[in-house]
Amino acid sequence: MKNIYTLIVFFFLSHTLHAQDNNNIKLVIHGGAGTITRKNMTAEQEKAYRAVLDNALQKGYLVLKNGGTSVNAVQTAIMVLEDSPLFNAGKGAVFTHEGKNELDASIMDGKNLMAGAVAGVTTVKNPITAAIAVMEKSPHVMLTGAGADRFAKEQGLQIVDPSYFYTEARYKALLNAKKSESIELDHSDKAKKENLKKGNKTGHRESKSLIFSEGKKFGTVGCVALDKYGNLAAGTSTGGMTNKRYGRVGDAPIIGAGTYANNETCAVSATGHGEFFIRAAVAHDISALMEYKGLNLQDAANEVVMKKLIAMGGEGGVIALDKKGNISMPFNSEGMYRGYIRHDGQSVTMIYKDELKK
Amino acid sequence: MKNIYTLIVFFFLSHTLHAQDNNNIKLVIHGGAGTITRKNMTAEQEKAYRAVLDNALQKGYLVLKNGGTSVNAVQTAIMVLEDSPLFNAGKGAVFTHEGKNELDASIMDGKNLMAGAVAGVTTVKNPITAAIAVMEKSPHVMLTGAGADRFAKEQGLQIVDPSYFYTEARYKALLNAKKSESIELDHSDKAKKENLKKGNKTGHRESKSLIFSEGKKFGTVGCVALDKYGNLAAGTSTGGMTNKRYGRVGDAPIIGAGTYANNETCAVSATGHGEFFIRAAVAHDISALMEYKGLNLQDAANEVVMKKLIAMGGEGGVIALDKKGNISMPFNSEGMYRGYIRHDGQSVTMIYKDELKK
């Protein structure tokens, strides 16, 4: 009789705990921030972007719901975004000055502060998988260039010919950028406007591509997740900057800048003008404001994105998630592709500034 | 008469201010942390190391004394250490698995949070000059690989044939590391001890080199400085890890990990097992503890190096300097090449654990 009681209590407790855990799961994604406005985007483009965002949310959520880890969920959601040509990560990555696609990605596990990153890979289909392999299968945190490609291949990851990453819209964006040389040589407002105009032309009229070729969009994709075990994770993946030179690396593969996760505080993935995000150590700074100054997630994220970065002139945004499942998605640019999915599977996608968190 | 008084007051004030400013200048350096003990090192080696450390201190100090900026002083001091074969940076850098020398460096200016870094350069004689050029002459923060070398060349920096970085002692250390493959394939204590034994043999008996070939030394050089204008700067330069593969990058070129400077808090340069220093965002964390938790420099640096890093298993140390000229140089390894020079030109060099700050 006593045994039966024990059994009943056990099943009751385990069911309750399980339900509680799954009540807490959450996943948040972004697909880049920048000059993304209603008037710049067609209804067709908007629909296409929202569909991919929602697919990423649903696929990542399924991992969490089935008891997968936050790292697994981050990988799954980011792979959806990498595989879509719409976002500047994986397929659809922007082109370097030399006409190549050099990809960066990073991951951090909030449970144990383990991390992995790759910079400048050219043959890994899903750079986020390479970052995770660095974290899980190597004693290192950051691998770069051809060496990182070699490591990914040795780990049995999916390798593709560099031509896999080609998209017409991104290549045209490179040609336009080269024409104006605005990104590296001229930072005046006039150049920005010209570039924007050209970018829009390419996206809307010339190629009629679904890919939204913003003149100034800091395309990067990212995901933060909280699993039923209470563990946070953050991941980021990008093709970097159109027309980038000299092996330029932004904040996406930099732990503490574009990506940071710590169960004690929060998980953060950033998107924006990477140079400013590195100098401001954005992702770690949000965590530090919570840990040392006692700010809540929203205040910490706003302090960095809406005050510090604006004061420095750094455009972009972050997605952030704390251990209680609170979400913050501040950005100081005109728009940011973003979305979240709740424990019950209800998802929300947003693009513009006027869409508030529901 | 009134004008003369004004003039006298003006000269008096300007002289006083000038004197006060020069009373505050300070420069601190490190040359790497690791298994550096009295019994492992000959008197001749110790003398050689102290001589280079002191030369770096004196040269950096001269810049500050003559009204140069903290960035200039950091560059000057680090160049002395890079040019010496004794330290794992510039000439004397360790070898990669493929038998190459791939160098990383970074700089940060505490005045405006500007920063620059290069990773994996192979032809720049003084990588710290490339990091500074990235900061001052490009819109970027981090350049990598062949692109970074090309940028350095275009900027007119001194370019050398990769063979310039060859030293016999470091090459032998690679051969020993490859024999045991301890760094990448075996992290057991036994392997560490074997590697240490072999390393010592190479350094002391076989080649009789002045270069101290420690089995486990995280050689990196760094400098933090405070100039008469009250501006802090931090810089770090390294050859990375012996036998490193896959384009591995440590904390040295990562802003927020190996290097950080902010006039509001402190300047930090780190040396140690880079993977842990990236995961712990060491340099930015020390700054954040001061800014958000109100810790003083010593407590903040100790919290990170002597508590957080030890808890994670991360070996190494930092040099740190605040805007008042306070110094902190904690390390959790057996030794750390380090030193500082005061406003009056009095310098102190230290190597072992039992040498306390005078």
- Which pLDDT band, with edges at 50, 70 and 90, does B219 fall under? confident
Alpha-carbon distances of A38 from A41, A262, A308, rounded to whole Å: 5, 36, 27
Alpha-carbon distances of A124 from A156, B147, B250, rounded to whole Å: 10, 20, 22
CA dihedral of A343, A347, A350, A354, whole degrees rounded to 10: -80
Q: Which of B146, B250, B292 sits opposite A293 (nearest CB)?
A: B292
Cβ-defined contact of B256 to A260 (cutoff 8 Å): no
Residue B19 has pLDDT above 50, yes or no: no
Report pLDDT for A2.
56
Q: Which of A144, A274, A291 sits opposite B247 (nearest CB)?
A: A144
pTM of structure: 0.88
Q: B102: nearest CA in chain A?
A: A144
Give the integer Cα–Cα distance in Å for A132 and A122.
Answer: 17
Interface test with A, best of B136, B141, B157, B315 (most A CBs within 10 A): B141
Q: Which of A113, A120, A187 sits opposite B312 (nearest CB)?
A: A113
Interface test with A, best of B103, B278, B286 (most A CBs within 10 A): B278
Among A336-350, B2-16, B162-176, B255-269, which is the least confidently predicted range? B2-16
Residues in chain A closer than 8 A to B183 (CB atoms): 139
Q: Which of A114, A145, A288 sits opposite B288 (nearest CB)?
A: A288
CA distance A201 to chain B (A): 26
Residues in chain A closer than 8 A to B140 (CB atoms): 246, 248, 275
Report pLDDT for A277.
98
Give the integer Cα–Cα distance in Å for A105 and B332.
Answer: 31
Does B289 contact A at CB distance below 8 Å? yes
Residue B183 has pLDDT above 80, yes or no: no
Q: Which of A119, A139, A281 sits opposite B184 (nearest CB)?
A: A139
Give the integer Cα–Cα distance in Å for B221 and A5.
Answer: 65
Interface test with A, best of B97, B137, B140 (most A CBs within 10 A): B140
Does A282 contact B at CB distance below 8 Å? no
Compute the Cα dihedral for A214, A216, A219, A225 and give only its sign: negative
Find the mean pLDDT for residues B119-146. Answer: 97
Q: A246: nearest CA in chain B?
A: B147
Residues in chain B closer than 8 A to A250 (CB atoms): 142
Cβ-defined contact of B249 to A139 (cutoff 8 Å): no
Tell me which of A35 and B73 has the higher pLDDT: B73
- Which pLDDT band, with edges at 50, 70 and 90, does B7 fall under? low
Find the mean pLDDT for residues B319-324. Answer: 97
Report pLDDT for B177.
87
Give the integer Cα–Cα distance in Å for A254 and A145.
Answer: 15
Region label for A77, one of left (φ > 0), alpha (ψ between -120 and 50) or beta (otherwise)? alpha
Report pLDDT for B64.
98
Residue B325 has pLDDT above 50, yes or no: yes
CA distance B86 to chain A (A): 25
Residue B54 has pLDDT above 50, yes or no: yes
Report pLDDT for B34.
87
Find the mean pLDDT for residues B200-204. Answer: 34
Q: B295: nearest CA in chain A?
A: A292
Residues in chain A closer than 8 A to B293 (CB atoms): 292-293
Helices (H) and strands (E) in chain B, counts: 12, 14
The string of DSSP letters for A213-232 reads --TTEE--EEEEEE-TTS-E
Among B residues 295-334, those touching chain A with beta carbons less than 8 Å apart: 312
Report pLDDT for B188.
43
Report pLDDT for B203.
32
List A122, A129, A202, A220, catalytic entry: A220
Report pLDDT for B3.
62
Cβ-defined contact of B249 to A284 (cutoff 8 Å): no
Contact present, A272 and A216 (Cβ < 8 Å) = no
Residues in chain B closer than 8 A to A254 (CB atoms): 142, 254-256
Query: A208: Cβ–Cβ under 8 A, 6 or more apart, which residues?
Result: none
Residue B198 has pLDDT above 90, yes or no: no
Alpha-carbon distances of B319 from A145, B141, B225, rounded to whole Å: 30, 22, 10
Whole-complex ipTM = 0.88
Cβ-defined contact of A247 to B285 (cutoff 8 Å): no
Report pLDDT for A6.
58
- Which pLDDT band, with edges at 50, 70 and 90, does B15 fall under? very low
DSSP state of A265: S
Q: A284: nearest CA in chain B?
A: B281
CA geometry: angle B287, B288, B293, nearest 5 deg: 120
Compute the Cα dihedral for B244, B249, B253, B254 and give only its sign: negative
Domains and CATH numbers, chain A: 24-88+212-234+242-247+254-352 (3.60.20.30)
Does A192 contact B at CB distance below 8 Å? no
Among A residues 135-174, those touching chain B with beta carbons less than 8 Å apart: 138-148, 150-151
Cβ-defined contact of B285 to A288 (cutoff 8 Å): yes
Q: Is B220 assigned a catalytic role?
A: yes
- Which residues does chain A have with pLDDT short of 50? 14-19, 182-207, 358
- Which pLDDT band, with edges at 50, 70 and 90, does B236 fall under? very high
Find the mean pLDDT for residues B9-32. Answer: 71
Q: B244: nearest CA in chain A?
A: A140
CB pairs under 8 A between A and B: 147
Residue in B26, B27, B29, B84 with CA at minimum distance from that of residue B337: B29
Report pLDDT for A36.
87
- Which pLDDT band, with edges at 50, 70 and 90, does B356 fall under? low
Report pLDDT for B36.
87
CA distance B260 to chain A (A): 9
Give the integer Cα–Cα distance in Å for A182 and A242.
Answer: 11
Report pLDDT for A206.
34
Cβ-defined contact of B284 to A256 (cutoff 8 Å): yes
Give the integer Cα–Cα distance in Å for A127 and A236.
Answer: 9
Q: A259: nearest CA in chain B?
A: B279
List B122, B123, B202, B220, catalytic entry: B220
Among B6-20, B169-183, B252-266, which is the least confidently predicted range? B6-20
Residue B192 has pLDDT above 60, yes or no: no
Report pLDDT for A87.
95
Give the integer Cα–Cα distance in Å for A60 and A71.
Answer: 10
Find the mean pLDDT for residues B49-62. Answer: 98
Q: Which of A120, A256, A274 sits opposite B256 (nearest CB)?
A: A256
Interface test with A, best of B112, B292, B303 (most A CBs within 10 A): B292
Summary mean pLDDT of chain B: 88
